[in-house]
Amino acid sequence: GLTLQQAEILSALCHMLHGQLNSGTMDITLDKMLTSVYGHYLAIAIDICSLFERRFHPTQGLTKQEEDLEYERISGRVSMVVEETMRTTLDKMLTVVKDARKTNLYVPQRKGLGISVNPANLSTPKHVAGLPYGVLFMHGRRSNLFHVRFREHSRGGMRVATPNSPQEYTLRSLNHYEEAYGLAATQHAKNKDIAEGGSKAVLLVRTHDYDDIKAMQTHQRVKQGANKNEEE
């Protein structure tokens, strides 16, 4: 079955690609994407997550030949998916995993999952400033971050977005990468007379339902305490 680590990888991929998959003719919500993957295509998703784990394992990593064979095997399974939306979604996930450059997956006591993404995997014709030098995606418990840079050595800043409603959060989530790309491209143009290129990060934090979650956690602690006292 799906391990906790694989569930984290799968969640990160869905959050990363949600906006990209909705930038064309597709229309799939994040909840629908997660529900469909977990409900109908979990076996393929596990294979994709396992490939990611094995690619970057510090002591038992795959050879290039093994990696290519595994990619072809999973790609064959994805191509058999009848529903076009989910076939495209799974194929995009697999491509991102195959082309990922670095990750902190095996770093002890990390606070989130970081993936250095091949910028070509997120590119669209709308990106008129060209292909960035590097793209970093970070997935945390209640936050996601895109960092975009246009040269190896770049300078810029970070924007923290804290939407006040579910609707605003969904909109910012859909345009998360576009926002980071646009800000980095603007900064790159401003930096034209210095050695460093432009970069920007956008941290999207889910805060609109924080009080509800806090109340639910308090209720659970009280209930657990009551059950414990009852047992005693």
What is the pLDDT at residue 217? 58
What is the pLDDT at residue 118? 97
Instruction: Confirm if 50 and 7 have CB atoms less than 8 A apart.
Output: no
User: Which of 9, 6, 20 minimizes the C-alpha distance to 121?
Assistant: 20
- Kindly state the greatest CA–CA separation across the chain: 72
What is the pLDDT at residue 102? 97
Instruction: Confirm if 154 and 196 have CB atoms less than 8 A apart.
Output: yes
What is the pLDDT at residue 83? 92
Active site (annotated) includes residue 200: yes
Q: What DSSP state is assigned to residue 60?
A: T
CA–CA separation, 150 and 130 (whole Å): 9
Instruction: Confirm if 205 and 143 have CB atoms less than 8 A apart.
Output: yes
Q: Which residue has the tokens 């999207």?
A: 204
Q: Which of 64, 200, 214, 228 is catalytic?
A: 200
What is the pLDDT at residue 232? 43
In 118-196, DSSP assigns E strands to 134-139, 143-149, 154-161
In 89-229, DSSP assigns E strands to 102-103, 113-117, 134-139, 143-149, 154-161, 197-205
What is the pLDDT at residue 157? 93
Residues 6+ apart with CB under 8 A from 7: none
What is the pLDDT at residue 110? 95
Would you write out the chain's pLDDT as a tens digit for each of its 232 residues?
899 999 999 999 999 998 888 866 566 778 888 888 999 999 999 999 999 999 999 999 999 999 999 999 999 999 999 999 899 999 999 999 999 999 999 999 999 999 999 999 999 888 989 999 999 999 998 899 999 999 999 999 999 999 888 889 888 999 999 999 999 999 999 998 999 999 999 999 988 776 665 655 554 665 565 454 444 4
Q: Which residue has the tokens 């990060």?
A: 201
What is the pLDDT at residue 214? 60
